[in-house]
Amino acid sequence: MDVQPLPPEVLEKLVQNGKIYREAKAAGDYALAEAQLLASWDAFPEPKHSWDSSESVTKTIAGYYIERKNFSAAETWVKELFKCDPLPSDPKPYLLLGKIYYESGRHELAAQNLIKAYEMGGRRGYASEDPKYLKFALDQIKKASK
């Protein structure tokens, strides 16, 4: 899928929403933070998945819901992320799915996705993540090779 740069007025709206989102989140105003994230996505013209910022916004929204432990919403947003046609070598979508499944107790699905993320990006894909996810993936790889 060919991605296009966002129109300047939409990009400006994203910057404004992002600033309010970060401030609201830091202040513990999660309702406002969530509203700003969703307003950012709503600002995208159709087709929403074909813009250069579509992938980063959907990753941010999914990550927000993972942090808030709203795994159903997080899973929905990772599915939106896959509609953005992420780079074939990007482990992040699989890492996000793996985290969702791990944290919600669906360990078989967590293993599938965390292993795929590891196969795609090695340890570097896990660099900014809680080490428990990499440990889980490596343990599952060892278990499968026995």
Rounded distance, CA 108 to CA 102, Å? 8
- Backbone CA torsion sign across 116, 1, 41, 72: negative
- Residues whose CB falls within 8 Å of the CB of residue 24, separated by 6 or more in sequence, listed in order: 30, 32, 33, 36
* pLDDT given at position 82: 95
Sequence-separated contacts (24+) of 78-83 with Cβ below 8 Å = 80/49, 81/55, 83/49
Question: Each residue of 66-101: pLDDT tens digit?
Answer: 999 999 999 999 999 999 988 889 999 999 999 999
Q: How far is CA 107 from CA 36, 48, 124, in A?
A: 32, 32, 22
In this prediction, residue 1 carries a pLDDT of 63
- CA trace torsion 13, 15, 16, 22 (10° rounding): 140
pLDDT tens digits, 42-67: 999 999 999 999 999 999 999 999 99
Cβ-contact 49, 82 below 8 angstroms: no
Model confidence at 146, pLDDT cuts 50, 70, 90, reads: confident
pLDDT tens readout for residues 89-132: 999 999 999 999 999 999 999 999 999 999 999 999 999 999 99
Find, among 41, 4, 6, 3, the residue nearest to 21 by Cα.
Answer: 41
Q: What confidence score (pLDDT) does residue 139 get?
A: 98
- The mean pLDDT of 11-24, rounded to a whole number, is 98
- Rounded CA-CA distance 140/86 in Å is 25
